[in-house]
Structure 1
Amino acid sequence: MSTLNSAPPRVPDAPEEAPATTPAGGKANARGRFGAKFTPYSLLVPSIVVLGVVIGWPLINLIIMSFQKFGRAQVFGAPPEWIGFGNYAKVLGDPTFWEVLGRSLLFCLVCVVITMVLGTLIAMMMTRLTKFFRLLLSVGLLLAWAMPALTATIVWGWIFDTDYGVINNVLVNVFGLDFHQHSWLIDPVSFFFVAAIIVIWGAVPFVTFTVYAGLSQVPDEVLEAASLDGAGYLARFRLIVFPYLKSIFVVVTILQIIWDLRVFTQIYALQGIGGIKEQTSTLGVYIYQTSLGSGEYGIGGAIAVITVIILMAISLYYVRQSIKEEEL
């Protein structure tokens, strides 16, 4: 018997229509996407403006000056004379410039190699030290790194002083060598030996801390497995540690080349203490002597532009290596 009170079947609701996008809403969304896309670039505008004013504008003036005959008369208001590549031809045809460039490159090479080796060895030693001695060594490195270059040069100049220097006294009284009143800054070789000590002493902390931070990321399991397989300490460094830290070594080496190639303070201060300027000048000091010392600002500008080109070529390689590391 059928039930009369049964409820009728429920009719399914009709699907709701999607709200139509209004033209105003579409424009608002487009503006939002446009703003989100270009917000990072707009945030970079203040930094770009500051860099353009602080670095770009002086660099443009330097390039313009390098194509002009610009001396002391032009400093006091005389109009400069446009001579094109005359300054560059004079610089590139000057044997003194090539001597200074070769001397600077050789000095840079020696400092970079020794700095990288010492910094790496100290960083590897820090991984074996106890916490107390590692902290003590870190404090000493930070103090050396924080000391201004001029202050460090003056202190090292006292250490190598002809009459009262610690080095001469130790060599005479302890080792019995004939270094009584020996002048370390008269001879160019010993001059650059002292300069290299100062530059390396100030640069080793940066390399040490950077390499030590990279060493902390090398997996201990891989090193232990290599040690169980019979790999010695040098083999583990060559086959495991160096491949892990290759990008760090490349970046730090390039930065050291850039910094040591344009070194100025240490060389200039040592020359003031007693060095022979004609035989000990590097690129930075040579530019200063040509521009401010001789009043040849146009020629000094040409030398500076050539130096900038060399540094930009090295920096370009550094940027390319950084981009490759980010893509990996």
Structure 2
Amino acid sequence: MSSATSTRERPGTVPPPAAPQSAPKRRMLARKGLAPALLLVPAAAILIVVIGWPLVQLVIVSFQQYGRAQVFGQPAPFIGFGNYVRVLGDPQFWQVLVRSFLFCIVNVVVTMSLGTLIALLMTRLNKFFRTLISVGLLLAWAMPALTAVIVWGWLFDTQFGVVNYVLTQVTGINFIGHSWLINPISFFAVAAIIIVWQSVPFVAFTIYAGLTQVPDEVLEAAQLDGAGAVQRFRLVIFPYLKSIFVVVTILQIIWDLRVFTQVFALQGIGGIREQTSTLGVYIYQTSLGTGDYGAGGAIAVIMVIIMMAISIFYVRQVIKEEEL
């Protein structure tokens, strides 16, 4: 047998074990694995200080009888789940919770629908009009919430509002002097207009960015097969952008569920607080309005739990989409 044949590995033989790595090489690999964790330490420390510590304090206050006297230094008695029992047994809390969820659902549905339509429209426009719409969306998105409430509040003003004037001229019915904020339904309609107006740009830009990644040849093939615009969106575009729609929808639910500025500012202009409060405003009114910080903390913790449940669902959906 030749030397070349004898050096070959015979079938069934076990290959020789790999040579052990040297100590310097093992230390270098360990340092490489530790480097990402070390880079995350500053960000994690900031999150713990900025988010973690206030959250811990909130939970502690929710288990205490914390009122105005405790703000000025008196010890806060520990009452366990007393605040939670009191809050969950209050019919007003459940009214506010249901009202907040209904208001959130309306805002999310309208925002997602308008944002998707604008994104689809932007794919059909030329560069000039697409830029013009983008600038308008950015201006609406960049406007502070309180400024937006002031502007829209002026448009719906009782005596000098543009909306009342236009409706009077168009319909022939005298709307001058009509208040849109006294009635809870019209109050939330005005609030929804403000919130949707500022939320649509984020949805439109996000979905438009996804639409640019849908292959043109797939859309052309669907059109040649006789699929209409609605069918192309339902059978081609939506499956491609499903993960984007899931992420944007859940983010909108979280943002609209904890809305505060728009509702609180409109109540200051003319709304009835008892009939128009949402969760964020209700927490503020319970804590600072009545001085019952313990009950306010309990409501805030319940709200945090709801947000965490939605966030966990969001993370699971993202992970599921990545695995697919």
TM-score using structure 2 length: 0.93
* Matched AA of 2:289: G
User: 1:280 is matched with which residue: 276, 286, 295?
Assistant: 276
For residues 278 and 147 of structure 2, the distance between their equivalents in structure 1, rounded to whole angstroms, comes to: 20
- 1:170 and 2:160 matched: no
Look at both structures and tell me which one has the larger radius of gyration over its CA atoms: 1
- Aligned with 1:119 (options 115, 121, 124): 115
Residue aligning to 2:315 = 319
- Code of the aligned partner of 1:162: T
SS of match in other structure, 2:33: helix
Structure 2 counterpart of 1:12: none
How many residues were matched structurally? Answer: 306
Question: d(CA) in 2 for partners of 1:37 and 1:171?
Answer: 67
Q: CA deviation at 1:245?
A: 0.6
Quote the residue 2:76 is aligned against.
80
Instruction: Choose which of 281, 290, 297 in structure 2 pairs with 1:294.
Output: 290
How far off its partner does 1:177 sit?
A: 2.3
2:145 alignment counterpart: 149
Q: Note the alpha carbon deviations across 1:82-104, whole angstroms, 9 max, x for none.
A: 00000000000000000000000
Partner of 1:202: 198
Corresponding residue number in structure 1 for 2:24: 28
In 1: Cα distance, 2:175 partner to 2:265 partner:
23
Pick from 206, 222, 225 the counterpart of residue 226 of structure 1: 222
Do structure 1's residue 239 and structure 2's residue 235 form an aligned pair?
yes
What is the Cα deviation at residue 152 of structure 1?
0.3
Aligned twin of 2:189: 193
Partner of 2:130: 134
CA distance in 1, matches of 2:84, 2:315: 28
Residues 231-270 of structure 1: per-residue CA shift (max 9 Å, x gap): 1111111110110111000000000000000000000000
Structure 2 residue aligned with 1:263: 259
Any gaps of 5 or more consecutive residues in structure 2?
1-18
Which residue of structure 1 aligns with residue 11 of structure 2? none
State how far apart, in whole Å, the 2-side matches of 1:220 and 1:206 are: 24
Match of 1:55 in 2: 51
Tell me what 2:176 maps to.
180
**What is the letter of the counterpart of residue 88 of structure 2?**
L
Gaps of 5+ in 1: 1-20
Identity of aligned residues (%): 72
Q: Deviations over 1:125-158 (max 9, x none)?
A: 0111111000000000000000000000110000
Q: Distance in 1 between matches of 2:241 and 2:115?
A: 14
Q: Does 1:158 align with 2:175?
A: no
* 1:19-69: CA deviation from partner (whole Å, max 9, x where unpaired): xx9x9x933222111110111011000000000000000000000110000
The structural deviation recorded for 1:325 is: 2.4
The answer to whether residue 89 in structure 2 is matched with residue 106 in structure 1 is: no
Letter of the 2:110 partner, please give it: I
1:278 to partner: Cα distance? 0.3
Please give the secondary structure, in 2, of the residue aligned with 1:263: coil
Distance 1:222 1:323 in 2: 26
CA–CA separation in structure 1 for the residues paired with 2:174 and 2:304:
44
In the alignment, residue 85 of structure 1 is paired with which amino acid?
F
Deviation at 1:174, TM superposition (A): 2.4
Aligned equivalents of 1:209, 1:175: Cα separation in 2: 36
Aligned equivalents of 1:326, 1:39: Cα separation in 2? 25
Structure 1 residue 327 displacement after superposition? 2.4
Once residues 305 and 31 of structure 1 are traced to their aligned partners in structure 2, the CA distance between those partners, rounded to angstroms, is: 45
Aligned residue for 2:171, secondary structure, equals: coil
**What residue is the counterpart of 1:8 in the other structure?**
none
